[in-house]
Structure 1
């Protein structure tokens, strides 16, 4: 299932998007032109003292902060004003588009000239490789001395975050993004529940046969439709169906054995292909599943030509904003209950605690201690709320019931017409911790989201958080990656041939799996299981 995307469950289940920023950050291809050196400076002494100056920075300073975002930042946004107010640290943002980020990051690392602070979405791999080489500040002494007590407490709260954040040399070079809630769901089975209600169709599937029968009924009611319609490519089509059968399109962690297995070498995966072939043959799934664009997908949804899919539950609210006047009367797009497989209902993918996006301090920064204090502050209650909501009393206030009331006209999912469209608040590229208040404020205000949360909670549809292996050996990691790429490419092509009827499922065990073994699947399993055992000290 996709990892960047999100929902949470606490006393009542709460859900959030995964790894996406909120409406404060509109997509743009433009980027800020700025240098990438760590040219930190002290700001003028007559600037207002920060609230937390004594513990963050004793005097006003300016630091460069690199992060990836499609929206350009100037440093005047609410989030940066908030940081300066609370910490005495003025931020000079250096951000590039996600499309250009890998090249830019690699160029900076090769040059050895890094900004003072870097936020990297795949930060753990950079920390593991370049931290021991001296590019990033070793945070271990600060953790041991208590100067990163908030960070350490948060990581210890959500095991195995300490293990996952630790680099192969035993040290810590980055501060990970943390989700401070028990559960965070990724994608779920979701559908046009208004159409289901209109035609007296159940939104709960006990078996995959139930799901199939419902899709057949929808096709009869709406002949021009593709009742099961998916976007985001072939793997997205197959993987989600395989997941709900307890399998995967590649190597995955088997929860029962706590060992990695190869999903396609299972009956569950073959049943997935048989099911999808049946949908394809009967016109129950969109034939352009590999290439369909978001705009084409939206059009199917808006014109009553698509009814069931796998997507993020917040899409139920977001799609109404996207469709605007095209929104069908009575439109509702909310969660459905995923089918059981062999009498077992696999819960939706959930995340909790550690996420491998890291903030790292340049070892050459003039303000190492101040930036360590900044990171620690971001894990504190004050810092968490500040990065989510701004300055208390100026940006927001708390109502008597504990809910957040914004004092400025920010654009959020609950206030899509807000005039402040790029505040930087609740931005995954910038915040360090998401708490329940943030989820309540930004994600649980939409009618569709609320209904999906309640429905999934009532039906015990959430799974448990799992954590994947990380390699400590670069050579083994490369070997595994090369093997996996070749195997995944071959399996996807063979899977598509089964789905579209070009190849019989009878050839799977006799031709496909033997070829996969020739490509090195057994060696790949050996490598990933070794890495998993090393990651969790087994």
Structure 2
């Protein structure tokens, strides 16, 4: 079967590194051991001798102890003061951290009050949550108001962690630089290739095998496969009428009905349908290729191949439908992962997820074969700042830059080497995400409150993630879906990478002034709503595509499409991307 033809393991969320002085030698497997054991760094607190980490960081950061006031989201069950990594950092750097915290749901509200008061902390961590981070316009505004400081000088002169990150990823610095050339926010970096290709399609290969079909490579072949799924009892349960050839849901990563299946006709990214064509910000849903794609999707709908519930159901409903009986009832899923139609939780008893394999980018009638790609989605900005009230900005930067080193990124995300994770010998027979030799593996533990996780300055490149030990056979007995599916995600992304859109055509998130950002937001909401409503009407046949196409484009103009694109073009032209 096709699923046995896969290579090996995939990226999970973790990464590895050498740890703060002495952490790797700390043993134990209990909460008490992880949080009460004395590290070498703690034992050397009184020492004035300098040590140099594997990444070239000189510790302590300051010879005379200082205190930095840090704002951060509260840890729901644990005090940040008691966190083991906090204690290690304080001991090794000479910097005492005074925490100011707020509940996750109140981060923005609390920060607004603090910023308005003028009584600022030294460092701000918003946390990685989408609702907590500042968008680029607000980030730029904070800098222009003098509330947070530019970090360019430190990045150019004393950086170690971010300097290496910039060298490793040529897009990173451009992405975090405002039009004025300033950098106000230090990013988290996640090199997970899977999330760069959200627009995916998953096909039930057991159905293909049962019907003697091959994985489709063109839109016509895809159509013929869907027809066979509908007409030939593809799931083999004796009921020729219970198959749903193609299905999706109303929201979620990669679930757009006009995403994966639109690209063979018209490049349509998952970034609001925007892309850059020879330096011009372009909106895919008004292009002629998009019209051709709508005709194709309408054909699938009219022939009963596209599930009508795709426009109203959520993920939970789709999973329940597919998991209800002994056999799968969905042939193809439009989503970033098969978990949108299968139970892929750690507690899953079903193995239906194993039936789904990624469909390669399809070739359309004109010969177009392209994958939507977003290499910038792994950059989390607007979450880590040094404020203008900080009396020790250089020391604060050195602390944050230390967190961005490979050593400390492993420490932040995985914990203590030898306790929560371990390096593997060069002659290991364990394999990593991509099938090459694994470099590290996690160690099961019940410990809590021992690392900072994704709180700030976490830099994980793809090669680190590929080094995690994974099951050699993702479908072996006992392999849980959270591990096994990682292989699928990696394979799917690597397949789509072969046909990805050119880098210069990718529409990045952009900095802009507050006035433009506010107007863009208002226009964007109305444009998206208008376009989605018309798209559903065209696909379901309640509006005729050929006769009403021009009226559809006029309706988008009437709600401000041209002004919207002008705002984006202005911001793009002022960015570092325009000069590429």
TM bucket normalised to smaller: 0.7 to 0.9
Residue in structure 2 matching 1:94, options 101, 107, 121: 101
- In the alignment, which residue of structure 2 is the partner of 1:279? 300
Answer 1 or 2: higher relative contact order, Cα 8 Å, separation at least 6. 2
1:398 positional shift? 1.0
1:282 positional shift? 3.6
Aligned 8 A contact 2:301 2:539 in 1:
yes
Residue in structure 1 matching 2:79, options 62, 65, 74: 74
- In the alignment, which residue of structure 1 is the partner of 2:462? 436
- Structure 2: how far apart are the matches of 1:349 and 1:451? 18
- Judging changes above 3 Å, is the alpha-carbon distance between structure 1 residues 137 and 458 closer, same or farther for their aligned structure 2 residues? closer
Secondary structure (helix, strand or coil) at the match of 1:209 reads helix
Aligned 8 A contact 2:291 2:545 in 1:
yes
Aligned 8 A contact 1:186 1:349 in 2:
yes
- In the alignment, which residue of structure 1 is the partner of 2:373? 349
Aligned 8 A contact 2:403 2:458 in 1:
yes
Aligned 8 A contact 2:249 2:311 in 1:
yes
Matches within 5 A, 1:275-314: 275-303=296-324, 304-313=328-337
- Structure 1: how far apart are the matches of 2:181 and 2:143? 11
With 527-536 and 250-259 compared, the bigger mean Cα shift is at 250-259
- Structure 2: how far apart are the matches of 1:265 and 1:152? 42
- Judging changes above 3 Å, is the alpha-carbon distance between structure 1 residues 488 and 429 closer, same or farther for their aligned structure 2 residues? same
- In the alignment, which residue of structure 1 is the partner of 2:33? none
1:128 positional shift? 0.5
- In the alignment, which residue of structure 1 is the partner of 2:287? 266
- In the alignment, which residue of structure 2 is the partner of 1:39? none
- Structure 1: how far apart are the matches of 2:346 and 2:359? 22
Paired positions, count? 489
Aligned 8 A contact 1:56 1:373 in 2:
yes
Matches within 5 A, 1:389-468: 389-401=414-426, 403-405=438-440, 408-410=443-445, 419-420=446-447, 427-436=453-462, 438-440=464-466, 446-454=483-491, 457=494, 461=498, 463=500, 465=503, 466-468=506-508
Q: Could you tell me the TM-score, scaled by structure 1's length?
A: 0.77
- Structure 2: how far apart are the matches of 1:232 and 1:100? 28
1:334 positional shift? 3.0
Aligned 8 A contact 1:317 1:449 in 2:
no
1:175 positional shift? 0.7
1:384 positional shift? 2.6
1:228 positional shift? 1.7
1:214 positional shift? 1.6
With 211-220 and 443-452 compared, the bigger mean Cα shift is at 443-452
- In the alignment, which residue of structure 2 is the partner of 1:38? none
1:535 positional shift? 0.4
Aligned 8 A contact 2:114 2:120 in 1:
yes
Matches within 5 A, 1:166-177: 166-177=177-188
1:191 aligns with 2:203: yes
- Judging changes above 3 Å, is the alpha-carbon distance between structure 1 residues 58 and 209 closer, same or farther for their aligned structure 2 residues? farther
Secondary structure (helix, strand or coil) at the match of 1:260 reads strand
Structure 1: which 5+ residue stretches go unaligned?
1-11, 23-45, 411-418
With 373-382 and 158-167 compared, the bigger mean Cα shift is at 158-167
1:117 positional shift? 2.7
- Structure 2: how far apart are the matches of 1:219 and 1:484? 38
Structure 2: which 5+ residue stretches go unaligned?
1-6, 16-40, 46-50, 236-240, 427-436, 472-482
- Judging changes above 3 Å, is the alpha-carbon distance between structure 1 residues 292 and 182 closer, same or farther for their aligned structure 2 residues? closer
- Judging changes above 3 Å, is the alpha-carbon distance between structure 1 residues 476 and 210 closer, same or farther for their aligned structure 2 residues? same
1:362 aligns with 2:367: no
Secondary structure (helix, strand or coil) at the match of 1:94 reads strand
- Structure 1: how far apart are the matches of 2:11 and 2:556? 37
- Judging changes above 3 Å, is the alpha-carbon distance between structure 1 residues 516 and 200 closer, same or farther for their aligned structure 2 residues? same
- Judging changes above 3 Å, is the alpha-carbon distance between structure 1 residues 321 and 179 closer, same or farther for their aligned structure 2 residues? closer
- Structure 1: how far apart are the matches of 2:415 and 2:195? 24
* Superimposed CA distance per residue, residues 291-314 of structure 1 (whole angstroms, 9 cap, x where no aligned partner): 423321222332412232233348
- In the alignment, which residue of structure 2 is the partner of 1:150? 161
Aligned 8 A contact 2:247 2:333 in 1:
yes
- Structure 1: how far apart are the matches of 2:8 and 2:571? 33
1:60 positional shift? 6.4
- Structure 2: how far apart are the matches of 1:382 and 1:480? 40
Aligned 8 A contact 1:337 1:461 in 2:
no
- In the alignment, which residue of structure 2 is the partner of 1:470? 510
- Structure 2: how far apart are the matches of 1:157 and 1:468? 19
Secondary structure (helix, strand or coil) at the match of 2:209 reads helix
Residue in structure 1 matching 2:125, options 109, 118, 127: 118
Residue in structure 2 matching 1:337, options 353, 360, 380: 360
- Structure 1: how far apart are the matches of 2:345 and 2:529? 37
- Structure 1: how far apart are the matches of 2:312 and 2:89? 42
- Judging changes above 3 Å, is the alpha-carbon distance between structure 1 residues 397 and 58 closer, same or farther for their aligned structure 2 residues? farther
- Structure 2: how far apart are the matches of 1:81 and 1:318? 42
